[in-house]
Amino acid sequence: MSEETWIVAIDGQQIEGEHGAEQVRTLMRTNPGRQIVVWNDTMTAWADPATLAAFREAPAPAPAPPPAATPAPAAVSATATVARPPASSAPPAKSAANAAAAEFAARGPELKNAIQSDVKFFKGLLDFGFTEFVTPKIVRTLYILSVALVALGFLGLVFSAIGSILTGIRLGSAFAILLGIVFLAVTPIIAILQVTLARVFFELVLVLFRIKEGVVNLDERSGSGA
């Protein structure tokens, strides 16, 4: 039977991914004084984990009774030969397989969160009702593409300006040389302005989505407190 998982929010900020009961208990111990709420598909509203039976610490098991005394073994004569069992050692292939399995088990939650994030992204692309937003998940990629396009445009203008200067020198045209120099001086300023505008635009997009998340969290709090 698979472990029950929970979505967790701390002080109104939802933590990415789903968490098991032991992970939620760890968050409760390491965040004293902060408001922690949980939710999953079996609940109708967010709730304090301290009020749920799934997060109550199990009582410590009773100590096991001491083992009964065993009689001392009979003395072995000095002439007797005692057989020693051969030292056991795991085969290298088995040790490597155990290490790989342990590493995979340790990275299990991380891989699960990554797979769930990819699934939500592709589901969002096919969400024609726009109930799932994918922009916050790809805004970093879009910004990198914007900077790359600005860099390509910058290089194109620089080569064009150099070509204009060389053409003016070859044809003896002072106007072409002056135009190339002006383009060569203005091109870095244009590139910086374009990158700045792209950064401001994407930051505004993220701010709007964070405002939307804050409003949703306030609605959920008011609904759970009603």
- Residue 7 above 70 pLDDT? yes
User: φ, ψ for residue 14 (rounded to 5)?
Assistant: -70, 135
By mean pLDDT, which of 81-85, 164-168, 204-208 is the weakest? Answer: 81-85
Q: Where is pLDDT greater, at 56 or 105?
A: 56
By mean pLDDT, which of 32-46, 84-98, 134-148, 190-204 is the weakest? Answer: 84-98
Q: How far is the C-alpha of 153 from the C-alpha of 168, rounded, in Å?
A: 22
User: Alpha helices, DSSP H only, in 41-128?
Assistant: 92-106, 108-125
- Residue 194 above 90 pLDDT? yes
- Residue 4 above 60 pLDDT? yes
- Residue 225 above 70 pLDDT? no
Instruction: Name the pairing type of β-strands 7-10 and 13-14.
Output: antiparallel
What is the percentage of the chain residues whose pLDDT exceeds 70?
63
Query: Which of the 8 DSSP states describes residue 51?
Result: G
Tens of pLDDT, residues 11-51: 888 888 888 888 888 888 888 888 889 888 888 888 888 88
Q: How confident is the model at residue 90 (pLDDT cuts 50, 70, 90)?
A: very low
Q: What is the pTM of this model?
A: 0.41
The whole-number average pLDDT for the span 86-97 is 54
For residue 199, what pLDDT is reported? Answer: 92
Q: How far is the C-alpha of 222 from the C-alpha of 216, rounded, in Å?
A: 10
Tens of pLDDT, residues 147-192: 999 999 999 999 998 998 999 899 988 898 999 999 889 999 999 9
Domain-wise residue ranges, the chain: 1-56, 135-225
For residue 44, what pLDDT is reported? Answer: 84
